[in-house]
Amino acid sequence: MTTKQKLLQICNNHVDKRINDYKEEVNLIKESIASNDKGNSEGDDSGNGKLLNDLEKNMTYLNDAKKTKEYLSNIKTNIDSKEAVLGSIVKTNMMSFYISTSIGKIELDDAVFYAISVNSPIGQLLINKPIHTSFEFNQNKYTITEII
C-alpha cells in the first residue's frame, strides 16, 4: 500500500468513527426523548427542549461527516500532478501536508503529515501550486519542495 493510500485510509477511518459516534449520540438522544415523553403525562416538555436542540446539532454534525466521507471518495491515490491537488502529498521545507480533510497531524511510517482541507487557510495557499512555489503562513516562509 502506498503512502497516499495509507493516508486516505486513515482519513476515511477517522470520518467513519465520527459518523458512528454521531449516529450513537443521535440514537441516545432519541431514546431519551422517547422516555421523557412516556414519563410525562402532563404536557411538561421542558426537558425535551434541550434534547431536541442536541438532536438537531448532532444531526447537523452527522450530515457534515457524511459529506466529508463523500468528499473523500473523490480522492484518487494514483493521480500524478505537477501541482498540488486534492489527494496530493505536498512536502515543504517546513512540513508535509496531505490535501484531503482537516484532521491534523498523522504519524505514518516514521514521517509526519498534516491532513488539511482544500478550504483551510493553508490549503488555499497550496492548492494548484507547483514545486518551488514559496508562500508565507503564520509568519513562516514555506517553499514547496515536492508534490507526490
Residue 29 has pLDDT above 80, yes or no: yes
Total-model pTM: 0.88
- Cα–Cα distance for residue pair 70/102, rounded to 1 Å: 14
For residue 107 the three cell numbers come to: 504519524
Q: For residue 96, give the amino acid letter.
A: S
- Cα–Cα distance for residue pair 67/134, rounded to 1 Å: 32
For residue 67 the three cell numbers come to: 459529506
Counting residues of the chain whose pLDDT is more than 70, the rounded percentage is 94
SS3 state at 69: helix
- Cα–Cα distance for residue pair 93/13, rounded to 1 Å: 29
Confidence of residue 44 (pLDDT cuts 50, 70, 90): low
- Break the chain down into helix, strand, coil percent, rounded to 5: 45, 25, 30
